[in-house]
C-alpha cells in the first residue's frame, strides 16, 4: 500500500478509531484530534486521513461536512479476533503525553506495530500480561531455582530474576530482520522492546510459576523491593513479606536465613510440588477496564488471598513447632 508516511497513516487511523462508540462504526474525531493527542499537525493529519479514505479504511458518513467531518469504519467481521486498544493509550492519562504520541515521536512505524502486537497478545489469566513464551524477563542461566531445605511437608526454594529477556513466536519473527545472519537478526527487535520500556508502555512484574516450563501456571506475583525496604506496600508486597517470614520461621537458622539469601526470593511450597519457576511477566502500563480485565484481576486477587492466608498459617504453625500441615491452595467454592 502506497503512503507518504506510514506512521502518520496508522496513527491517524487509531485516533479515528478511538473516537467511535461501542459499535466502533462512527467517529467524529479527525485532524484536530490527531493534533491534540499525538502532536501530528493538521496538514499532515489531513493527508493521512485522505489516504485512509483512498485505501478504504474509513469513509465519510452521510452526515459528514467539511467543517464537521464524520467517518464511518467498515464493520468488524464476526469471525475476526480484534485487538482491544484502550482509549487512554491515545488520549493519555492525567498530565502525561499519550503513549501513541510518544511512539510517533520516535519516528519508527514498526515500534507502533510492536505495541499493538503486544496488546493483542495479552492473555486473560491472573497475570493479565503477555505470555511468558512470547516475551518475559528470565532468571540467570547460571542460577536456576534451587531447594534450600525441607522440613515436614514443606520445601523452601531460592529464586532470583536476571536482567535478561527472551522472546519467541510469530509476533517476534515479524520484527526480526530475516535477511541478516542469526546473530544479527535481533538487532532491531530488542532496541524496540527497550524503547517501549523507556517510554513507559510496558513493564515487568515478577511472578512465581508452578514450573519453569513454557506452559507453566502462574501462582502469585512477588515484590523484590520487599527484600530491601520496610514500610507500607500493596497486597503483593504484603504477600511477599509474609512468604519470607514463613521461610524464616521454618528455618533452624531463622536469624540469618534472610541475610544469607538477600538477593533471593525464598518461596515455600509443599514437598510434592515440582521445582517452581520465576519470570518477569510483560505487562501493559495502560489497561482498559474491560470485563476480561476485571475477571483477570478477580483471579489475581483470589490467588493472592489464598497464598497470603497459606503463608500466614505456615508461619504460625512453625512457631509452634508444627510442620505437617500443607498449604491449601484450592480456590474457595
At residue 246, does pLDDT exceed 80?
A: yes
* pLDDT tens digits, 173-222: 888 776 555 667 788 899 999 999 999 999 999 999 999 999 999 999 99
Q: What DSSP assignment string belongs to 152-185?
A: TTEEEEEE---S-EEE-SHHHHHHS-TTS-TTTT
Most confident of 39-48, 136-145, 242-251, 252-261: 39-48
Confidence of residue 256 (pLDDT cuts 50, 70, 90): low
Region 282-308 average pLDDT:
94
Do residues 121 and 130 touch, judged by C-beta distance below 8 A?
yes
Region 215-243 average pLDDT:
89
Residue 255 pLDDT: 56
Query: Is the backbone of residue 123 left (phi > 0), alpha (psi -120 to 50) or beta?
Result: beta
CA distances (Å), origin 218, targets 125, 131, 279: 8, 10, 9
Confidence of residue 258 (pLDDT cuts 50, 70, 90): low
At residue 251, does pLDDT exceed 80?
A: yes
Where do the domains of the chain lie, and which CATH numbers do they carry? 6-121 (1.10.10), 135-166+202-319 (no CATH)
SS (H, E, C) 238-262: HHHHHHHHHHHHHCCCHHHHHHHCC
Region 273-291 average pLDDT:
94
Residue 225 pLDDT: 87
| Long-range Cβ pairs for the range 316-324 (8 Å, 24+) | 318/246, 318/249, 318/250, 319/249, 322/152, 323/151, 323/152, 323/153, 323/154, 323/250, 324/152, 324/153
Residue 188 pLDDT: 87
Helix axes 109-121, 99-106, angle to 10 degrees: 140
Indicate whether this model's pTM tops 0.75: yes
At residue 254, does pLDDT exceed 60?
A: no
* pLDDT tens digits, 312-321: 999 999 999 9
Which three cell numbers mark 186?
535481533
Region 146-165 average pLDDT:
92
Q: Please state, in angstroms and rounded to a whole number, the distance separating the CA atoms of residues 244 and 227.
A: 9
Confidence of residue 4 (pLDDT cuts 50, 70, 90): confident
154: which strand partners?
Answer: 151, 270
Residue 210 pLDDT: 96
Confidence of residue 288 (pLDDT cuts 50, 70, 90): confident
Place of cell 469513509: 59
Judged on CB neighbours under 10 Å (0-12, 13-18, 19+), 241 is middle
Region 114-120 average pLDDT:
96
Do residues 243 and 311 touch, judged by C-beta distance below 8 A?
yes
Region 244-253 average pLDDT:
86
Out of 73-87, 128-142, 201-215, pick the least confident: 73-87
Q: Report the percentage of the chain scoring pLDDT > 70.
A: 94
Confidence of residue 2 (pLDDT cuts 50, 70, 90): confident
Residue 333 pLDDT: 61
Residue 257 pLDDT: 65
Amino acid at each position: 500500500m502506497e503512503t507518504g508516511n506510514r506512521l502518520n497513516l496508522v496513527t491517524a487511523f487509531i485516533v479515528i478509531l478511538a473516537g467511535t462508540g461501542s459499535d466502533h462504526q462512527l467517529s467524529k474525531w479527525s485532524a484536530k484530534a490527531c493534533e491534540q493527542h499525538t502532536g501530528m499537525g493538521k496538514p499532515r493529519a489531513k493527508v493521512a486521513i485522505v489516504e485512509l479514505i483512498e485505501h478504504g479504511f474509513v469513509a465519510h458518513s452521510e452526515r459528514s461536512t467539511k467543517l464537521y467531518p464524520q467517518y464511518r469504519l467498515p464493520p468488524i467481521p464476526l469471525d475476526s479476533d480484534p485487538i482491544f486498544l484502550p482509549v487512554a493509550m491515545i488520549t493519555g492519562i492525567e498530565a502525561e503525553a499519550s503513549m501513541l504520541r510518544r511512539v510517533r515521536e520516535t519516528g519508527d512505524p514498526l515500534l507502533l506495530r510492536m505495541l499493538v502486537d503486544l496488546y493483542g497478545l495479552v492473555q486473560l489469566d491472573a497475570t493479565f500480561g503477555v505470555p511468558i513464551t512470547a516475551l518475559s524477563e528470565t532468571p540467570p542461566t547460571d542460577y536456576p531455582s534451587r531447594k534450600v531445605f525441607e522440613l515436614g511437608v514443606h520445601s523452601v526454594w531460592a529464586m532470583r530474576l536476571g536482567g535478561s529477556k527472551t522472546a519467541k513466536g510469530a509476533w517476534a519473527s515479524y520484527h526480526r530482520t530475516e535477511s541478516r545472519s542469526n546473530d544479527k537478526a535481533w538487532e532491531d527487535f530488542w532496541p524496540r522492546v527497550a524503547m517501549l520500556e523507556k517510554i513507559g508502555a510496558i513493564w515487568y512484574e515478577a511472578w512465581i510459576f508452578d514450573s519453569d516450563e513454557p506452559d507453566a501456571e502462574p501462582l502469585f506475583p512477588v515484590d523484590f523491593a520487599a527484600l530491601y525496604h520496610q514500610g507500607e506496600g500493596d497486597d503483593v508486597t504484603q504477600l511477599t513479606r509474609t512468604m519470607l517470614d514463613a521461610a524464616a520461621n521454618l528455618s533452624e537458622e531463622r536469624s540469618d536465613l534472610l541475610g544469607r539469601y538477600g538477593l533471593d526470593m525464598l518461596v515455600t511450597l509443599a514437598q510434592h510440588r515440582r521445582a517452581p519457576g520465576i519470570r518477569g511477566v510483560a505487562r501493559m502500563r495502560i489497561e482498559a477496564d474491560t470485563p476480561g480485565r476485571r475477571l483477570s484481576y478477580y483471579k489475581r486477587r483470589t490467588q493472592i488471598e489464598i497464598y497470603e492466608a497459606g503463608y500466614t498459617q505456615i508461619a504460625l504453625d512453625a512457631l509452634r513447632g508444627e510442620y505437617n500441615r500443607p498449604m491449601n491452595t484450592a480456590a474457595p467454592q
